[in-house]
Chains A and B, each alone.
Chain A
Amino acid sequence: MREKRWFAPVYMFIVTAMFSSVVIGFARRTQNLVEANARLALETAVLQVIPQLYSEDASRLELHRIFVEQVSEPTDESGGAYVYKKDSRIEAYAVPFSGRGFWATISGVVGVKPDKKTVTGIAFYEQSETPGLGAEITKPAFKNQFPGRILAQKAEPLKMKRPGEPLAENEYHAVTGATQTSTRLEKIINDALVLWREKLEKGGGTN
């Protein structure tokens, strides 16, 4: 039977169907978990840039609860940013950004105070940069530069500088050895911030 001409395609078809159905079944079973992980990563990132809400010790579940209770989803009024409101007054913005990094998409959020120019932090929830190089953007050494930066009102809100160079109030140091990641990230963040400000002005989102 192995020599028959119809055997090879039929065999391939059966084997493929068998293995694929197992994989599909398996993927279905874990789908919710995978989606929940992605959602949690986003929520955690948003909370990380809102210092009033974030605590290092909080478990994933606690973080999820805080997010659901305190953070409002992006609206036109907020310029597409996540918002933390207290007594219906805006306390913090978390501006999401996303774009192509060196290997794949880099997504994250920048936290901004209600004055719309003081940065409270940066966090990432999706990136596939080179471990040890581009992926250093997710490390505290890089991220801790952001809180306290003041967004420039003209041209690029944030600017990167070579490590070691003196910094102005809207500047931060790039990652050594990861020029591509740094350059692309600078553009991604700035595009998102500029768009956010435009939307805010249009939406009349003054408070």
Chain B
Amino acid sequence: MAGEIGERGRHKLSPSARKSNLFIEGLWDNNPVFRQVLGICSTLAVTNLVLNTMVMCAGLIFTLSLSSATVSVLRKSMPRNIRMMVETLIIAFYVIIVDILLKAYWPQMSANLGPYVGLIITNCIVMGRCEACGISSPPARAFLDGLFNALGYSFILLIIAVFREVLGMGTLLELPVPFFIGPYWDKWIIMVMPPGAFFMLAVVVWVFRSIQMKKEVTAK
């Protein structure tokens, strides 16, 4: 999926404007999920329970901001031709730390997330931000860019997860939600299954893009 990463989605703003807009860029204008359509794999995989999603997002926030900053620190000494290898190494380093922490201090959650924590390494958002920002910006900026992109990813994931858990299981954070827990609501099992994620993601991208388009039209 690394092939998706490129100039796409970068905005033609002056450098100073871009700097002040990192927050809006990451969370909205250049949101990794609904604008750049990156990191879809984990969006689909871990969003059927809100608690799992929250932990996954925390893991990504940690990994993305720190990897981007670390890449930025090493950017001047790094030979261009092996930069991807070094980036992957750095990302893997942080992900393994998250994995070890979960295994040691929250074994139940580690068991719930299974292989998905390890798979953050291949999350295209991480490599994407390292390549787009980390490699060319000073550490503080790279860190913030990573942080805000991870937050942008997280809030979309949480929206999807809330809908999937409530509609599919009738619970929210494992607590029963009135009405949806039954007996008048027939649980949409498909929502907790992988195909449910596709539908939910499509709806979310559709809604958010429509809002964005409206904004752009009125701005003109």
When the two chains form their complex, are residues A104 and B97 in contact, meaning their CB atoms are under 8 A apart?
no
Say whether chain B's binding surface is mostly helix, strand, loop, or mixed. helix
Q: How many A-B contacts at CB < 8 Å in the complex?
A: 78
B:99-145 near A, CB below 8 Å: 100-101, 103-105, 107, 111-112, 114-115
Is A132 in contact with B89, judged by CB distance below 8 angstroms?
no
Asked if B103 and A34 sit within 8 Å, CB to CB, the answer is yes
Q: Is the CB of B79 within 8 A of A2?
A: yes
Among candidates B52, B74, B85, B189, residue contacting A131 with C-beta atoms closer than 8 Å: B52
| Smallest beta-carbon distance A4→chain B, Å | 9
Contact A19 B104, CB 8 Å, known A11-B79, A132-B168: no
| CB-based contact B86/A15 at 8 Å | yes
Q: Is the Cβ of B96 less than 8 Å from the Cβ of A103?
A: no
Contact B111 A131 (CB under 8 A): no
B152 to chain A, nearest CB (A): 24
Whether, in the assembled complex, A170 has its beta carbon less than 8 Å from a beta carbon of chain B, the answer is no
- A12–B107 touching, CB < 8 Å: no
**Inside 8 A of B107's CB, which chain A residues have their CB?**
34, 37-38, 41
CB-CB < 8 A to A55: which residues of B? none
Whole-angstrom distance between the Cβ of B188 and the nearest chain A Cβ: 11
Task: State the CA gap A128–B108 with chains docked (Å).
Answer: 11
Complex contact B90–A26 (CB within 8 A): no
State which residues 120-140 of A face B: CB under 8 Å: 126-128, 130-133, 135
| Chain A contact residue count (CB 8 A cutoff) | 30
Picked from A23, A132, A133, A176, the residue with its CB within 8 Å of the CB of B93 is: A23
Nearest CB on B from A163, distance (A): 11
In the complex with contacts A27-B100, A34-B104, A37-B107, A133-B114 CB distance below 8 A: no
Q: Identify the interface centre among B78, B90, B104: most chain A CB within 10 Å of its CB.
A: B104
Measuring CB to CB, which residues of chain B are less than 8 angstroms from any residue of chain A?
46, 48-49, 52, 74, 77-82, 85-86, 89-90, 93, 96-97, 100-101, 103-105, 107, 111-112, 114-115, 165, 168-169, 189, 192-194
CB-based closest 6 A-B pairs: A128-B114, A132-B192, A30-B104, A37-B107, A33-B104, A132-B48
What are 13 A-B pairs at a CB distance below 8 A?
Answer: A2-B80, A11-B78, A11-B82, A19-B89, A27-B100, A30-B103, A34-B100, A126-B111, A128-B111, A130-B194, A131-B192, A132-B49, A176-B189
Chain A residues proximal to chain B, CB less than 8 Å: 2, 7-8, 11-12, 15-16, 19, 22-23, 26-27, 30, 33-34, 37-38, 41, 103-104, 126-128, 130-133, 135, 176-177
